Amino acid sequence: MSPFGGLAWVDGAVVALEEARVPVTDRSFLYADSVYDTVRTYGHRPFLLGDHLDRLRRSGREIGLAVPWDDGELVRIVDDLMASWPEESEASLRLIVTRGDGGHGLALPEPTCPRLVVMARVLVPVNPSFYEAGARLGRPPEGLAKLSAIPAHIKSGSYLSNVLALRSVREQGAFEGLLRGADGSWAEATTSNLFVVRGGALYTPGVDDHILPGVTRALVLALAAESDIPVHEQPLYDGDLEEADEIFLTSSIKEILPISHLDGVEVGAASPGPLTREVSRLYQLSVRRLLSLQAARLRDVFTQ
């Protein structure tokens, strides 16, 4: 028997991931005409699923693609997937809405019939040593460092710019790579949001600075406000990175990822700094608190 590869919900049925199929005429395959969002589980429970569904709908609205499934339907689909999930593994969930089939060339199909695919893969954790020693971050060559022409706040299926930038820095020994916004500032990493620590304060590009508004990023900002940690949302340039006391990245999968080196040069003490560790501690406490609240709400629903 082959190793468990994951599950997918397609056309109303849960199937093994390797058996999941969509037509080659789907516009996501032809034109990357789709939006998606990624959710991770803790204890087999999707974390902040409602926030991810909100962002999925916002991305769809930005490209004129309605998401016709309501939240209740999407939650039930995710529950169906997780009901068959092996106990020993956590999952990375990817909810994809495509514009479906049809249209003549680039012209949009009339009517549009969106297609929904929900994929669940075994969550592959980031190398644990990165959280103790820090990971390496790189700046790709200028020709590969630019964000996609798709506005960064739209989480679309068009990711070739990110793919090429990541390949470039991986060849140089880095784990993650940065991308520039239209103004030349460093907006975000290929699959992460960017934070710099300087003088006991957090600095991060704002939502108007060519970034995807990350769900984990938003939680970090809320935790910083609760803990009176100063935060400045502003563009970050080369000098801001090179003069940083600490750098860390955030994403649903990476959580709070400390950075030890930038382009091979040590960042601060070349290990997770005190504020990065504090933010990570607050984040882990918040995960446990929010999952407990979520479980309590479910108990209330089933006992009413």
Can you give the pLDDT at residue 3? 62
Those residues whose C-beta lies under 8 Å from the C-beta of residue 87, and which sit 6 or more positions away, are: 44
Domains belonging to the chain, first-starting first, are: 7-122 (3.30.470.10), 128-288 (3.20.10.10)
Can you give the pLDDT at residue 208? 86
Q: Is 102 exposed, middle or buried (0-12, 13-18, 19+ CB in 10 A)?
A: middle
Can you give the pLDDT at residue 299? 47
Where residue 102 falls among pLDDT bands split at 50, 70, 90?
A: confident
**DSSP run (H or E) holding 73:** helix 71-83
Residues 236 and 165: their CA atoms lie apart, in Å, by: 18
Q: What is the mean pLDDT of residues 76-102?
A: 94
Q: Is the pLDDT of residue 301 over 60?
A: no
